[in-house]
Structure 1
């Protein structure tokens, strides 16, 4: 009978200690002083109580809707990892910054010393680079996936590669060639120049790739920063069924490279060459990116995607619509 009473008192004491520690947030030393116990005794009671299942931890997720969207994306489209950020109504630039911050944190969590990081240019990748903050240096190499462009330097791939390498503490290999050659023959010649050939060979060996997804639907689309063209030509592109831009290649809805003359003049890796990269992180934001995202996913060109909640919802709706039609 005495043993049973002792067990009851032990359980009562254990419950008191657990309440003081986990619910009231008191330190073990404070509990020991209050109950006139040794700190080691308090520690043993806490450990024993946890082993007996008396402590159940329930963490409230303030971003449950975002987590739900991530799970749906990973389930319904071919993705290993989806990250969804909050959208800022009426402010696409701020929303893109939010996406860039999430992608920057994900990139830092992903990379390891010795990695080669291959990147594309564009506004989304620029938003990632601007948000890179780390308290340690990484022994990494950053290399472009395409040639460079003139004009908006902050979205130029060589500029971004240099900035990313600086922020991570690594080194950059640049591609000293234009994005578009004058002809296919010139493109082939440039791709065979030793320094350019070496840079792209390094990109082919990348452990991590960070890429944007381009639209051709709107006049402000990033593709027209790369290759300006009259409105009539833009409408013609859309009319031929071209849906997206990826590594500066014009792409069909099924994720294949379109049979378009400009594609043959690109000084860049081909989208299918990214498939040997273990981690291809796509970054995108905005309603105009929904169909391009679907096209790139259809082509299995990326395994991770970081986007805002509005864009994520529309990608899911478009995916469900396509499945219903099929």
Structure 2
């Protein structure tokens, strides 16, 4: 592997603008009283002789700075009744199901946030020294990556599974991979090529370049993956990123397309559905995505049960992180 294609990601927290020493001490004191001593905000305000509003600001700030992180034991959610039923029905190694939170103002967004947060807490426990972790892309994977705690894993390699696609979406493949490598203290292998080329011959020539050939070879060595399975509707990620048009995805949906994994279509049984654009794409193949030691699918939000079931049936998933509503929909579906 060339020196330019792999980099060691730092596992420490990002640089922060330091507060004056006395201000730092107040933040730490408020956090200690709240999280360790169990005082409520009014009691802390009285103890520190500050306003309750200041206490709220201090506690919000220490969490924003990653000085304090509230961790929920993933075993609790893996022991959920729905999680056990999902494992039994679909043959999953483990499933994690979080409550829906129907009282939130934006139910769909809140559900996605809960699932990605729970998956982020769960991921480090699914990794071991020496693992090679392949990372998919999309809003769900990016949101999860942002929340993974700084937990160094010895001798971990994190690999981008598909080429880059210029977009103003903020969750490109290289961003998902780099962020996870940073938070897990792993080596990062980014795939320094476009996802889609203008012609097949150009795609083939680029794949023959030694550095790209080495990077693509690394994809086959992944023993664990993180993925989302996209929808096939007009607002699908592959449409918003310009890989397929709205008319194009509708045509494939009419032919039976049920989900999208790493830019590639699958039907309801998880079998590949070849799209013309694929001959110009650079990235992991669907066959390379099967048979992993651990493959974590993060599925949350409306319309995700169908794609999730397709991904599971296709052999792309061993572990599932989802919400109670999606879990119930999966259990109601015929397998």
Deviations 1:74-96 (A, max 9, x none): 01113111111122334222211
Which of 163, 180, 185 is the matching residue for 1:147? 163
Counterpart contact for 1:147–1:177, Cα < 8 Å: yes
CA distance in 2, matches of 1:134, 1:83: 21
CA distance in 2, matches of 1:65, 1:108: 15
Q: What is the deviation of 1:150?
A: 0.8
CA distance in 2, matches of 1:141, 1:66: 30
Look up the match of 1:101.
Answer: 117
1:9-20 paired onto structure 2 within 5 Å = none
Q: What is the deviation of 1:135?
A: 5.1
Identify, as 1 or 2, the structure richer in helix. Answer: 1
Q: What is the deviation of 1:107?
A: 1.2
Look up the match of 1:167.
Answer: 183
| Runs of 5+ unmatched residues, structure 2 | 1-75
1:71-220 paired onto structure 2 within 5 Å = 71-89=84-102, 90-134=106-150, 136=152, 138-152=154-168, 154-217=170-233, 219-220=234-235
CA distance in 2, matches of 1:274, 1:259: 15
Q: What is the deviation of 1:157?
A: 0.9
CA distance in 1, matches of 2:184, 2:77: 31
Please give the secondary structure, in 1, of the residue aligned with 2:304: helix
Look up the match of 1:280.
Answer: 295
Deviations 1:112-133 (A, max 9, x none): 2222111001111112101111
Please give the secondary structure, in 2, of the residue aligned with 1:288: coil
Q: Bigger shift: 86-95 or 141-150?
A: 86-95
Q: Which has the larger radius of gyration?
A: 1
1:238-317 paired onto structure 2 within 5 Å = 238-317=253-332
Counterpart contact for 1:78–1:300, Cα < 8 Å: no
CA distance in 2, matches of 1:122, 1:149: 11
Q: What's the RMSD between the two structures over aligned residues?
A: 2.2
Please give the secondary structure, in 2, of the residue aligned with 1:83: strand
Q: What is the deviation of 1:215?
A: 0.5
Q: What is the deviation of 1:68?
A: 0.8
| Runs of 5+ unmatched residues, structure 1 | 1-62
Is 1:236 equivalent to 2:243 in the alignment? no
Q: What is the deviation of 1:234?
A: 3.3
Is 1:70 equivalent to 2:86 in the alignment? no
Please give the secondary structure, in 2, of the residue aligned with 1:243: strand
Q: What is the deviation of 1:173?
A: 0.9
CA distance in 1, matches of 2:285, 2:197: 15
Please give the secondary structure, in 1, of the residue aligned with 2:134: strand
CA distance in 2, matches of 1:116, 1:210: 11
Please give the secondary structure, in 2, of the residue aligned with 1:214: coil
Q: What is the deviation of 1:209?
A: 0.7
Counterpart contact for 1:66–1:85, Cα < 8 Å: no
Q: What is the deviation of 1:307?
A: 0.8
CA distance in 2, matches of 1:83, 1:189: 43
Q: What is the deviation of 1:229?
A: 4.8
Please give the secondary structure, in 2, of the residue aligned with 1:124: helix
CA distance in 2, matches of 1:293, 1:93: 18
